[in-house]
A and B are shown apart, each in its own frame.
Chain A
Amino acid sequence: MLTQFGATAESLSKASTMVFRIGTDAHLYDDPDDVSIAPLLDSKFESEKCEALKRLLALIAQGFDVSNYFPQVVKNVASQSLEVKKLVYLYLLHYAEKRPNEALLSINYFQKDLGDPNPLVRAWALRTMAGIRLHAIASLVLVAVGKCARDPSVYVRKCAAIALPKLHDLRLEEHTAAIEEIVGMLLKDNSPGVVGASASAFASICPNNFSLIGRNYKRLCEILPDVEEWGQIVLIGILLRYAIAKHGLVRESLMLSFDDRGIQSPEKDDPDSDLTVRKPFNGASFDVCTEIADIVARSYLEGPDKYLARLGHVNQDSIGLDGSCITSAKSNDDVKILLQCTSPLLWSYNSAVVLAAAGVHWIMAPKEDIRKIVKPLLFLLRSAGSSKYVVLCNIQVFAKAMPSLFSPYYEDFFISSSDSYRTKTLKLEILSTIATKTSISSIFLEFQDHVRDPDRRFAADTVAAIGLCAQKLPDVANTCLEALLYLALSESSNNVVALMGEEEILLVQVIKSIMAIIKQDPHSHERVIVHLVRSLDSMSAPAARAMVIWMLGEYCNIGVLTSKMIPTIFKYLAQCFHSESVETKLQIVNACVKVLLRAKVEDMSELRLAISYVLELAKCDLNYDVRDRARVLKNFLSHCKGFNYLEEVDNRTEFNDLTYVFAEYLFGGTKKVPSESFSYRFYLPGSLSQIVLHAAPGYEPLPEPCSFSDDETGHSPTNVHNDHESNEIDDSDEISGSLDEENTSDYSSGSVSGEGGDSYIASDSGEDEEAGTLIHLSDDAPDSRDHDRVSVNNSSSGLMDSGELMSKRALESWLNENSGSGQNSSNLSHVQRSLARISIKDIGQLVKPKSYTLLDPPNGNGLSVIYRYSSEVSKVSTELACIHVSFSNNSEEPMCNIFLAEEKPIPSPDSSEKSGSPSESVLVSHDKEATLIPMEEIDRLNPGQTADRVLQVRFEHHLLPLKLVLSCDGRKQQVKLRPDIGYFIKPLPMDIESFLKKESQLPGMFENIRRCTFSEHLNQQNDRDEPPQKDIFLMICEKLALKMLSNANLHLVSVDMPVAANLDDLSGICLRLSGEILKNSIPCLVTLTLKGTCAEPLEVSVKMNCEETVFGLNLLNRIVNFLAEPTQ
């Protein structure tokens, strides 16, 4: 019943996708922005949010930038619906780096989700949180990862392992050790899934920290077959590198075959050698191309670039290959187990796993065991079609170094018409490498078929392969030559008229191959040359003609036949010289000289006639190359001619003319040119570099053999030079740079620029003359000689307490237990020297909170509204911030019914709004609207009159402005109330001891420090006449305190001054302030420490300790901003 329904449903669904596309997201992709997305995001219904998010996703898919929706999307992180969550995460990860500050807003939700009972929610939260990649939250993420690495759910642990590289990408030095520790822990995990993921983390974080592997080596080998395929790929590579770093190369392996030649394989004298009888082998059965194998081995160890650079000058034995770093696969258990555990993986259905396993055997297995990898590799060519090309590239290297491995399987490299062109050429190359006397005939039969392939480029490549085979196996050279000659003749005759560009390629290649074969033994192939020369007339491809003429000149004296026909040929060449291409003409001219130098021709006069005719023609050629060449050669010949005359009668005693020597040098010798063009670049099997044939960034050759030993506690062997590393560092620098920029700019747009726009009214009431009385030197730090001891005690007792007094709050419960101890000591506690504690009394009277304009008279028809945050705390609810609002009537007429209210949910299109940041323009009301306690209406405001009201507002968000509607005389006007995070806290009175204690409980991730410069004291100094030195200290302390208290609702706990300090040196002044967050009464501790002298801007380091990290960070940013900005 059920299945039946399923069946119809499926067939129907096919129909629907074809015809109707109903119920899909098609319309969303096609017209993602045909409705306004913003209101949907704020909808009460999950389905509407979902739709909005899908529309955003569609825009992302199509490459549009929709990062301006970021603030609204972030809010939806809190959604309970997993689908909304998932979509938000997708969006968030796409833009987090662009909008770091807003991304920070989501952190609290992630932290909440990390404690969720549903492992899926925990995993997603971790993945996304780590994916945001902000330096500011790195320590938070680290703690989260550490916790998740101990999660009961395998899936979460796996995600933790994958999150580690994200953290590592940020390149924060201070976290390196902690990250590696977690990697080590995860590598020990019981679940293969986790081990696989942590292997990938290991490989990208600390690939040379072999001590982590050493501890688990055996277990990792054993678990390898159960690890997921992707993890296997990486883990195999790690184990291989470890085995080499620990034990060195294997004596019997291919890597040391070069040495074998000298040592004469020790097995031969080995009494145990009868054990190897199971498979009788003689030397030839795995004959290794030692020269190439040696290059391969050295390239693997050193990287080809380094190796090649060294190749020229130094004796080759420098690294790794001396006897001390050699082990044996038979006696070494670690090597044995590695080979054992990787060999079943050769049956994997994932081609990458097979190739990785094959690579281990290639490098580590005794030569006679390498053949194990052959069949699995060959099977990949059929079973994993997409991987074919890459597998072939690797086989090509294997075959070059050890042709015998693959030579019995030549049929597997026969070309199928469905292969891509590149695959075909690779197969041809491999075939010509592995061809043997026995297989060559079948291979030739195949080649002959390919020559007639419609793809002429491929046919030409086949011809080239035939040439290579013939050079490699001289026995078959004659057969090849016959076949090629036949081909050349038929090709040239076939295309007398229609010779398309494509056809030329083949003929040229045929001649090229013939030339290469003849070069090896010209004397036995005279007949071929004659044939070719005879068919010269029917060849039209210039390159082919040029080559035939070259052969004619080069081999003009090898036999009777050639000598006989030379005069005729030159007559023919003279005849058609004018119509030849430049390339051919040059060769003809060259041939002239060669013939005159060498040929033993009977009828010289006729030949000379023809040649001089040709040279005359050439001298007047249109092409200057030809002309120049002809002139030079003519000069030679003026001597050679004479030489030729006389040679018949006399010996060449007196002809040591210089030109003759030149001519002889240039054209006489039959120089042996190394014919094999060979790619000497070898990279590790299975690597990307091997495919692209250059070292890709991050490519590392094998570690130096035996560079790692267990007792070594250090991490990396000395030779580890890491391109990758330096690359990444550059990148991260860039990132952090831009991050910082964004940090400041974004914050200033959020709060500071707001102030710039709104008029800022600060009142500087003349308080300065009272400064002396305001500040009392207290003997709070009692025995002034024992300052040191006291302060040290303070901080150290804090350290001790921290272990016991760790608060067990919500966040804490999932944090790992010992997170506190590691990062406990705060930087600033060390700064303490001899300090005098001073207290600034009555400063509260001086505090004048900053005022902002809500509405200025021109915009409000004469009504001006100014507000300032008050330090009072609302009686109604702790979540409300109190704001003093002053309404003043600057117009001539009275105003009625002035009233401030919440904006209605339907937003007006406020594009005309002069707001700076894009986030504001899309900002509309939230479903949990920031509530406003209804304000008492002002019935009437006469001209010049001012009325004050207290507004109690709950800001949903501590960075985003709140829109209000101001009605006056029935007119409505939209105004924006800017939140000031400095007033979302209230003073938390405490004494210095409890402050320090609290501070010590909030180390590590709860602590953030930013620096800024404070220069206000400079203005003051300039304004006034030199006040006494002492006062500068006090004045600055007071200035700072005032600044702090005027901008944030904090309690000034203490002001510490260094006593023994240089009079001018302000370094060490330390202000402590405390507050608690209105919403949840979580304390925020602020510590300002100064550095610098009176005469220059001070460097203020602001430290924030707060359990609610994000709030703390935002408040910290705010403090830094207002400290840096001048008071008017």
Chain B
Amino acid sequence: MGIRFILMVNKQGQTRLAQYYEYLTIEERRALEGEIVRKCLARTEQQCSFVEHRNYKIVYRRYASLFFLVGVDNEENELAILEFIHLLVETMDRHFGNVCELDIMFHLEKAHFMLEEMVMNGCIVETSKSNILGPIQLLEKAS
């Protein structure tokens, strides 16, 4: 199913956003997040952005204090996922204006809606920033 989950974690290891595309129980999620975060946060900038964990491949990237972690199938193209992460950040950047951890904390719903526009069922369905933000901006105007 391509993307299995998307996590945003700050450098203290606190989860800031978690979106799963397959069902895991709360305990499983907690365990998984803990393991992955421990693995990825320990890595340095000079190391590559791919980590294999259980049956996932984790592609991650750090932006300022925030780590974007995407768990994918083994079949998935790692570099494309890196580009996807970048696209996600750019989109948020455009919407929030110089996005930071706090923006995501306080606008978690919006972040979820952006993700929903971009990814459905683990497949990337939209890659145009204006298309992604269209519905959200419309809603903001309305309210």
Task: Answer yes or no: do A and B interact.
Answer: no
Report A's interface with B, CB cutoff 8 A.
none
